[in-house]
Structure 1
Amino acid sequence: MTPPAPAIIVKGLTMAYGSFVLQRDLDFTINRGDIFVIMGGSGCGKSTLLRHMIGLKQPASGSVWYGEADFWALDEDERAAIIRRAGVLYQSGALWSSMTLAENVALPLQHYTDLAPEVVAELVAFKLSLVGLAGFEDFYPSELSGGMRKRAALARAIALDPDFLFFDEPSAGLDPISARNLDQLILELRESLGATVVIVTHELASIYAIATNSVFLDSEAKTMLATGDPKTLLQECTDPTVLNFLTRGTGQREVRTV
């Protein structure tokens, strides 16, 4: 069997705010087609790591590679070209409240393509239908439930058919059923787009339901303690901090998805 091709490689990455080191010596590989989870306890630097990977914060040292490209060694235009291949879903959704869903989803298409307005409108309707929001083009974010706003933000994130999808706590604020539906939607979109997905989360149900690979960050050690499929880590990892997290402190190695 041909081994999976690396999509993103993080090498020797150190994250810091001034003299304060948040994480050091991070080394892991995200393979093409992975649903890769960045996990760990509160305050360990999960969202900060995501910001380093999508160009919002430069690492103190180390590198992030997209294929053969050393991301932070590129100039600003070259980095922007890589990020245009990515869609991002922020924890809050970050929809423009003064715009309808159609206007929100159309933004990246209008900004990065020369498509005619009628083609943009067709694509917007298609993207909203993919996330179960057909017919909601003229609704404003305030008129939707939290789960629907997350799905609308996801429609915007996939507007340009990205190679990479980055999600920051996508299930935050959702009830268990909405969170499970969002997990299923992420799986379906990964299959239909062929995208590589990177998710920041501490929700074990989501981790076990959809993740194929992961890295575990620890705030006390200030480095990663494990990497690999979370279900495999649950069965094989001997680090007590990782095991405590993956079992909610019970030490029982059964997969729990609800």
Structure 2
Amino acid sequence: MSTQTQIRGESNRSANRKPHIVVKNLTMAYGSFVLMRDINFTVHHGDVFIIMGGSGCGKSTLLRHLIGLKEPAAGEVFYDDVNFTQADPQTRELMLRRFGILYQSGALWSSMTLAENIGLPIGEFTDLAPSQIREIAALKLALVGLGGFEDFYPNEISGGMQKRAGLARAMALDPEILFFDEPSAGLDPISSSLLDELILELRDSLGATVVVVTHELASIFAIGNNCVFLDADSRAQIAGGDPKDLLANSSDPRVRKFLTRGKDKGGRLNHHV
């Protein structure tokens, strides 16, 4: 089965899957300045959910709201029917342990080896022995194609490898939900495509739900089966659903302009946009 056929099948089954994340009437603000208002969407178990929109629309800010780094001005975020926004600190901490997060920079500690980076959250949240932690770290690195690189430092590997190492660390505690902030930023088209394939493989092998902030069209169409589209001018979400369906059926010129940018006259996607 091709990747595109697989994703279309996932999209068709979305309505039959249990909601994993539900955002209700979310308003994002910095003081009195409202960035986005009344955001509503549902992410189902197993989705690769894309947060997309033009520059300055609040994509990364929305991700920070989802993982509790920023509190909403209004509205709520639910995980499996549990209100994350209103949860007490202990409940929220337990919920956060179900998340794996890959930040845009990779956020690896330069003074630590890759194995030490991956082992850091394992050592913090489990009682495993150092030898067991290293064994798990080696396994996670192998899953992202970095077997044998346990004792390398981040500055000794390429940018694409650093992204994969960051992904291995995000998977350290076997999360239910993976959050990626611009995972392809700074990568060449080939490395970006390989990372997209890896994200799908890990989604399937882990049974995880994936939430991705990105503006890269190649990635949006390659991995996304659900999305929310944020518009900076109206300060609102203006579309949602399968990105491929939006491309085929949306009549909103803002959505069509975003999803067709970078295409040549023959309709082929320029992967450098």
TM-score between the two structures when normalised by the length of structure 1: 0.97
Which residue of the partner structure matches residue 229 of structure 2? 216
Candidates 237, 240, 249, aligned match of 2:250: 237
In the other structure, the counterpart of 1:154 is 167
Q: For structure 1, which segment, 112-121 or 92-101, has the greater mean C-alpha deviation from structure 2 after superposition?
A: 112-121
Q: Matched residues in 1 for 2:33 and 2:84: separation? A: 23
The correspondence of residues 99-248 of structure 1 with structure 2, limited to 5 A, is 99-248=112-261
Give the Cα–Cα distance (whole angstroms) in 1 for the partners of residues 213 and 51 of structure 2. 5
Out of 87, 99, 102, the position equivalent to 1:86 is 99
How many Å separate the matches in 2 of 1:252 and 1:15?
Answer: 38
**Structure 1 counterpart of 2:59, from 40, 46, 64:** 46
- 1:224-256 C-alpha deviation (Å, 9 max, x unpaired): 000000000000111110010000176989573
Cα deviation, residue 177, structure 1: 0.4
Change (3 A) 1:13 1:132: same
Unaligned 5+ segments in structure 2 are 1-12
Residue 10 of structure 2 corresponds to: none
- Cα gap change, 1:251 to 1:233, in 2 (>3 Å): farther
Partner of 1:67: 80
Instruction: State the Cα deviation string for residues 200-242 of structure 1 (Å, max 9, x = none).
Output: 0000000000101000000001000000000000001111100
Q: CA deviation at 1:257?
A: 7.5
Q: Which residue does 2:45 correspond to in 1?
A: 32
Which of 17, 26, 41 is equivalent to 1:4?
17
Equivalent residue number for residue 36 of structure 2: 23
* Structure-1 separation of matches of 2:174 and 2:163: 18
Cα distance in 2, alignment partners of residues 228 and 215 from structure 1? 7
CA distance in 1, matches of 2:174, 2:266: 37
Q: How many angstroms apart in 2 are the aligned matches of 1:104 and 1:73?
A: 32
Counterparts of 2:63 and 2:213, CA distance in 1: 7
Further displaced range: 12-21 or 108-117: 108-117
Task: Please identify, of 72-81 and 25-34, the stretch whose mean Cα deviation from structure 2 is larger.
Answer: 72-81
SS of 1:120's equivalent in the other structure is helix
Residues paired across the two proteins, number = 258
Distance of aligned partners of 1:59 and 1:252 in 2 relative to their CA distance in 1, 3 Å threshold:
farther
Q: Helix, strand or coil for the counterpart of 1:160?
A: coil
Contact 2:263 2:270 in 1 (8 A): no
List runs of 5+ in structure 1 lacking aligned partners: none
Distance 1:43 1:218, change over 3 A: same
| Percent of matched pairs sharing the same residue | 64
Verify the 8 A CA contact 1:36 1:213 in the aligned structure 2: yes
Q: Deviations over 1:1-49 (max 9, x none)?
A: 7711100000000000001000001000001000000000000000000
Question: C-alpha separation between the residues in 2 aligned to 1:254 and 1:164?
Answer: 34
Does the aligned pair in 2 maintain the 1:214–1:229 contact within 8 Å?
Answer: yes
